[in-house]
Amino acid sequence: MKNTIKAFLLSLVALFSINFTTLAQDAVAVEEVEVTEAVAEVAAVAEAPAADAEAMEEDIHLGQTFVDFYQGMGLYKFFDFDNGGWKYLVMLCIAFLLLYLAIVKEFEPLLLLPIAFGMLLTNLPGAGMFHEELFSGGHVHWQEFANGAGLLDYLYLGVKLGIYPCLIFIGVGAMTDFGPLLANPKSLLLGAAAQLGIFLAFFGARLLGFDAAEAGSIGIIGGADGPTAIFLTSKLAPHLLGPIAVAAYSYMALVPVIQPPIMRLLTTKEERNIVMKQVRSVSKKEKIIFPILVATIVSLLLPDAAALIGCLMLGNLLKECGVTERLSKTVQNELMNICTIFLGITVGATATADTFLSWATIGILIMGICAFAFGSAGGVLLAKFMNLFLKNKINPLIGSAGVSAVPMAARVSQTIGQEENPSNYLLMHAMGPNVAGVIGSAVAAGIMLSMLG
């Protein structure tokens, strides 16, 4: 019995020990869980500010991205009036006006339209298509092209290096008939007299405060020859290329408006009624020899004019020799059209807001129209003077065609002449001084370049 009771008591002690150990282990486990949860809570509390800060930083970065995107838009620069944003808007309005004149009014559309569109592209803020600093100081900064030049910067090299105007002159030569000039060599003098406006405008620009190189570039507007004006300006005053090109081609388009009042003012009704004898026919041999002779003589006397005169006469020789018909057609069409597009767009690109919107531009426009008017008057007045000594009188109206706006100026002479006498046909007579004016303006550009370049 005692043994049974003793065994029972030992069993209770063992059971109690086991239960106590289990409870102790459970307590420790619970305590560990509680400690772990407490540590996790503490860690969560510690990490919460860092997570919030990271989320806040991400939100700030995203917001700054949107701000940067907005500020990079052209619209932002348009309305940034404190930094001259209004200038872009004004220049775009001018570009739209020129596009209207080219498309609707057909004012020299082949060149005025590309010029206007080039002006549109260069004045779209943020587009980065043209950078004036690459050509600052009249030089090409080749090392800067690696830093991100725009499309128009590369195309402008054709203007800066004098490539496009010369190539266009090859096409002009191939489309020019020097027959009327050869039939009446006296018309060469009328073409020379019409360059009077170039030199008078030069002195006028000097009085307005332009330096000699700028004045020479402004004066060449009076020659009414766009490629020549661009060629000379790109050499002497490239920073004025945009305003001068726009003025030159605008006034060329306005020949039917500008010239008639001057022609009527300087001539009498009797002089406008003069009927000129029919010009003689010119042989093929004369037409072939003429461009070769002119290119040689002018280049020897005035080397700076060799590029323009040489290209002009090359084009004419391709046309007249009769053995290069395919080349003649190419330079009259494909080459001429490609160069005209590139020339117009890149010249328009130089008309940036800072350059174009200035008092200098107003001065250029004023002196440009004066040069054009004086050039037209010079040819008329010389024709009147020549009539004092000639048996076969010259109709002074053809003198105004001495400006090289071919063939528009010659057509104006024809129109004004027929107003007085419907049976009077002056077109072929006026083409003589008209094509002489092309040579005269190139020679005048060569003189300016040799004296001022």
Tokens at 326, concatenated: 């395919």
For the beta carbon of residue 332, count every other beta carbon within 10 angstroms: 19
Whether the predicted pLDDT of 78 surpasses 70 = no
Cα 266 to Cα 262: distance, rounded to the nearest angstrom? 6
Query: What pLDDT was estimated at residue 355?
Result: 82
Q: pLDDT confidence of 309, banded at 50, 70, 90? A: very high
Cα 310 to Cα 162: distance, rounded to the nearest angstrom? 13
Whether the predicted pLDDT of 390 surpasses 80 = yes
Give the model confidence (pLDDT) of 237-268 as tens digits.
998 998 998 888 888 878 888 999 999 999 99
At position 306, the amino acid (one-letter code) is A
pLDDT above 90 as % of the chain: 52
Query: What pLDDT was estimated at residue 321?
Result: 95
CA angle 402, 404, 409 (to 5 degrees): 70
Contact 445, 231 (CB under 8 A): yes
Work out the mean pLDDT of the chain and round it to a whole number: 84
Cα 377 to Cα 264: distance, rounded to the nearest angstrom? 10
Tokens at 335, concatenated: 């080459």
Q: pLDDT confidence of 61, banded at 50, 70, 90? A: low
Instruction: Give one word for 352, left, alpha or beta, with left for phi > 0 and alpha for psi -120 to 50.
Output: beta
Tokens at 327, concatenated: 């080349």
> Which residues contact residue 260 at a Cβ distance below 8 angstroms, ignoring those fewer than 6 apart?
412, 415, 416
pTM value > 0.75: yes
Contact 362, 133 (CB under 8 A): no
Query: What pLDDT was estimated at residue 20?
Result: 36
Which of the listed ranges 28-32, 38-42, 239-243, 381-385 does the model predict with the highest average pLDDT?
A: 381-385
Least confident range of 87-96, 136-145, 328-337, 370-379 = 136-145
pLDDT above 70 as % of the chain: 81
Q: pLDDT confidence of 57, banded at 50, 70, 90? A: low
Mean pLDDT, rounded, for 135-163: 87
Whether the predicted pLDDT of 60 surpasses 80 = no
**280 vs 385 pLDDT, higher one:** 385
Closest C-alpha among 180, 161, 169, 131 to residue 354: 131
168 half-sphere exposure, CB direction, 13 A CA radius: 25
Tell me the CA distances in angstroms from 253 to 11, 18, 198, one per residue in order. 126, 115, 18
Query: What pLDDT was estimated at residue 137?
Result: 75
Whether the predicted pLDDT of 432 surpasses 80 = yes
Tokens at 76, concatenated: 């932002």
Cα 122 to Cα 346: distance, rounded to the nearest angstrom? 9
Give the model confidence (pLDDT) of 252-308 as tens digits.
878 888 999 999 999 999 999 999 988 788 999 999 999 999 999 999 999 999 999
What is the rounded end-to-end Cα distance, in angstroms, of the chain?
Answer: 140
Mean pLDDT, rounded, for 140-162: 89
Q: Where are the domains of the chain?
A: 2-72, 156-452
